[in-house]
A and B are shown apart, each in its own frame.
Chain A
Amino acid sequence: MKKISTIELTYGAIFICLMTIGANIAVWFPFLAIPIGGVSVPLSLQTFFAICAGLFLGKKLALLSLSAYTLIGIAGVPVFANMRAGLFTLFDYTGGFLLSFIFVAFVTGWLAEKQAAFKITNSFFIAVIGVAINYLIGVNYMYIAMNTWLGLTISYPTAWLSMTPFLIKDGIMAVFAAILLVHMMRRLPNTMFLNNSQKI
């Protein structure tokens, strides 16, 4: 790995803060708590911010930044969704989703580096891949966690079925994420994309 410059370092650190805000976005923007059957479910923009990390930072730095985010959470700072923290969050059945963000950021960063230019189609493609990785790792981890250390027997199709409402939500979110990304890219200065600046 080539030496990390100071600016890359601080960008990586700032993305940890952005991930924290993304995970708990409904705290500041309460309109993002969506009422589903009488209960208001706060939307989390974690997947979206992880994808952004890939786009803005490039694969290596995104990987490093998201790993640091996960470690900060383990260290007890409430940076995860619903202000959770601690080592157990990773062992919990939703821990896989948390771990998957590292890969989401890495893969979207890698894909973004390969694109010649960003258009709505590329952006949509990247967002969908991001959500797919999120769920592939998340649900499989949930299945393994439940059937081994958590000692809850659950069949593989049930694991997927229980996550389907969220998958639909995040699928729709991916479409919006794609639109959001394109809008944001047009408005943000070029220099802010550390590794993809020439493509906007």
Chain B
Amino acid sequence: MDMSNSLLIGQYVPSNSFIHRLDPRTKIMIIFFFVVFVFFANSAPSYAWLTVFAIGTALATKIKLTFILKGLTPVWFLIIFTFLLHLIVTKEGEVLVEFVSFSIYSDAIQQGIAISFRFFLLILVTSLLTLTTTPIEITDAIESLLQPLKKIKFPVHELALMMSISLRFIPTLMQETEKISKAQASRGVDFRTGPLKDRIQAVVPLLVPLFVSAFKRAEELAMAMEARGYQGGEGRTKLRELKIAKIDVLSFIVFALVIIILFFLRA
């Protein structure tokens, strides 16, 4: 099933750019700060500067820009909608165009453009993370970044392991669901007609086997893990070690410069 494969890699697009090779923690942290600092932009030059940074980073991933922008299709609607809403709602500044009972103000266009741009930047940059990093790398990074929570006895290792296990089992359970659906259909169960009430009741013979098979897998997996000597996170070694390299430090410095310049460009 190709859907299972696409699930495992998520939205990841393989390439050998330096952005792909950055430590996933670096990427998560820079994107987190970018999301915060986008809200500090308040003038045309500051927005332009952030756009230069975002587009520059997107180009540096060596993924085709048209491909990245295509991936944003579902949210284009939101961006355009926001812009149009601002045109209608904002009533400040000079009147630019006047229809019968409705006029467009200069501030409306300004604000509309600013906010649509903010949207665009947020969506573009956050999607760069998942385009250049595999879910497994992100899971490792999350585990590493959440380490401080261990101090308050939050089970960080277990959380990360749950995530990794689910990555492996989501496609399996999806296939299982399909099998159950077909099996019940072959027994002559017809769900397609009838009132809503009957349709929802028809879910029971589908959900019960789904839960049973899911829990069976969980039990088998737990047994297999214990048979192989799994005993929690204490002293466990890692197959993939995360390492902050020179390129990561350099990226942080460049990003800090971008932000400092942003503050000079603010109105």
Contacts and interface: CB of A to CB of B under 8 A. Distances in A.
B230 A6 contact: yes
A185 to B, nearest CB: 10
Contacts of A85: 10-11, 130
Interface residues of A, number: 60
A74 B127 CA distance: 10
Top-5 shortest CB links A-B: A76-B130, A76-B10, A13-B165, A16-B166, A75-B138
A21 B213 CA distance: 13
Contact of A88 (B127, B163, B200): B127
A184 B210 CA distance: 11
B159 interface: yes
Contacts, number: 194
27 contacts: A1-B153, A6-B226, A9-B162, A10-B222, A12-B158, A13-B221, A14-B165, A14-B217, A16-B162, A18-B173, A18-B211, A20-B173, A71-B163, A75-B10, A75-B163, A76-B138, A78-B7, A78-B11, A84-B74, A87-B31, A87-B129, A151-B111, A176-B197, A176-B201, A180-B204, A184-B211, A187-B208
Interface string A46-71: 00000010000000000011011101
B196 interface: yes
Judged by DSSP, the binding face of B is helix
A114 B218 CA distance: 26
Contacts of B159: 64, 67-68, 71
Interface in A76-123: 76-79, 84-88, 91-92
Nearest to B179: A28
**Central interface residue in B82, B172, B211, B217, by most chain A CB within 10 Å:** B211
Interface string B1-18: 000000110111000000
Contact of A150 (B82, B133, B162, B196): B82
